[in-house]
């Protein structure tokens, strides 16, 4: 079955020797600058970092691009970004300093504890500072690629600098339910030849701030289900140049089976290649 047609011609990704057997952030600092390397900030209360790592590994291993993973949101800085050509974020903008009883606040599993009164209600705070937002902004302006996925749009609610480079902000989402993702009328190498596909995922509704011509994906609930007066549709992806760098956002991403939809895998690969100026 052809998922995209016609095929975009592929050029070999920039070649170079691997950095040896080193792993983690230390490897990035030792890696040759001739080979692209990615950093992924992943995981939050509602998004287990393991499923994100497993999901993204499939994409990056297929492309033979080195990627380092971190959950250290506090360590995100201009200095930590220097070894990289690409930054991915798949996590929200909240942390829970006083703790919480479980990862999912909506299930009886955690809500019906015998001693629930012993635990105060969980309270979130925002983690990103404007200095960190500026670090990302400068990283992209100076030629880096930035790929926020799924709930990374939530971080825009807490940082003006981040929102400016990311391009929009999270509004909300209904429970998991099937919806369609399709290309918009705005032609782009990432979506060229794309056919609509269905995922069972969180349909994120987002507010988009930039020129409408850069919106390349739209989500639509084909059963007519709406969310908070926002109708059945929402922007689901955009791509644009920002300074000397580039930004791509795609909204799908709450589960592995959504991340591994064959057409979405191809979209992720094309997004990475476009960010690295390989297409």
Model-level pTM? 0.86
Q: How many CB atoms lie within 10 A of CB 134?
A: 18
The enclosing H or E element of 172 equals strand 168-172
- Per the CB < 8 A criterion, the answer to whether 68 and 39 are in contact is yes
Is 41 domain-assigned?
yes
Distance CA 203, CA 223 (A): 13
Is 46 domain-assigned?
yes
Is 119 domain-assigned?
no
Q: Which residues pair with 70 in a beta bridge?
A: 41
With a pLDDT cut of 90, the percent of the chain lying above it is 78
Whether residue 145 is predicted with pLDDT greater than 60 in this model: the reply is yes
Check residue 8 and give its pLDDT.
39
190-221: per-residue pLDDT in tens? 999 999 999 999 999 999 999 999 999 999 99
φ/ψ of 90, rounded to 5, equals: -135, 85
Task: Pick the more confident residue, 31 or 137.
Answer: 137
9-45: per-residue pLDDT in tens? 333 333 333 333 333 444 443 344 578 999 999 999 9
Domain with residue 147: its CATH number is 3.40.50.880
Q: Which residues constitute the domain of residue 44?
A: 25-93+128-275
Is 178 domain-assigned?
yes
| DSSP helix/strand/coil, 264 | helix
With a pLDDT cut of 70, the percent of the chain lying above it is 83
Is 234 domain-assigned?
yes
Check residue 102 and give its pLDDT.
67
User: For 175, which DSSP code?
Assistant: S
Cα 144 to Cα 26, 110, 154, 232, distances in angstroms: 20, 41, 21, 34
């Amino acid at each position: 079955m052809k998922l995209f047609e016609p095929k975009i011609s592929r050029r070999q990704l920039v070649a170079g020797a691997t950095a040896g057997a080193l792993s983690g952030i230390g490897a990035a600092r030792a890696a040759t600058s001739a080979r692209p390397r990615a950093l992924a900030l992943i995981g939050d209360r509602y998004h287990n970092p393991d499923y994100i790592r497993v999901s993204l590994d499939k994409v990056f291993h297929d492309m033979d691009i080195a990627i380092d993973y971190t959950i250290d949101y506090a360590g995100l800085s201009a200095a930590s970004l220097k070894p990289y050509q690409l930054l991915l974020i798949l996590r929200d903008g909240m942390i829970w300093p006083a703790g919480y009883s479980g990862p999912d606040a909506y299930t009886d599993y955690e809500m019906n504890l015998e001693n629930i009164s012993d635990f105060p209600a969980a309270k979130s705070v925002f983690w990103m500072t404007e200095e960190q937002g500026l670090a990302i902004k400068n990283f992209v302006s100076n030629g880096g690629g930035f790929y926020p996925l799924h709930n990374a749009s939530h971080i825009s609610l807490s940082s003006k600098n981040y929102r400016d480079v990311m391009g929009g902000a999270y509004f909300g989402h209904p429970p998991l339910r099937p919806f369609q993702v399709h290309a918009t009328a705005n032609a782009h190498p990432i979506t060229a030849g794309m056919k609509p596909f269905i995922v069972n995922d969180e349909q994120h509704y987002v507010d988009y701030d930039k020129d409408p011509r850069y919106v390349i994906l739209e989500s639509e609930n084909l059963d007519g289900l709406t969310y908070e007066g926002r109708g059945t549709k929402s922007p689901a992806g955009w791509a644009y140049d920002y300074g000397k760098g580039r930004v791509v956002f795609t909204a799908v991403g709450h589960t592995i089976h959504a991340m591994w939809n064959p057409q979405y895998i191809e979209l992720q690969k094309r997004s990475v290649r476009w960010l690295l100026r390989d297409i």
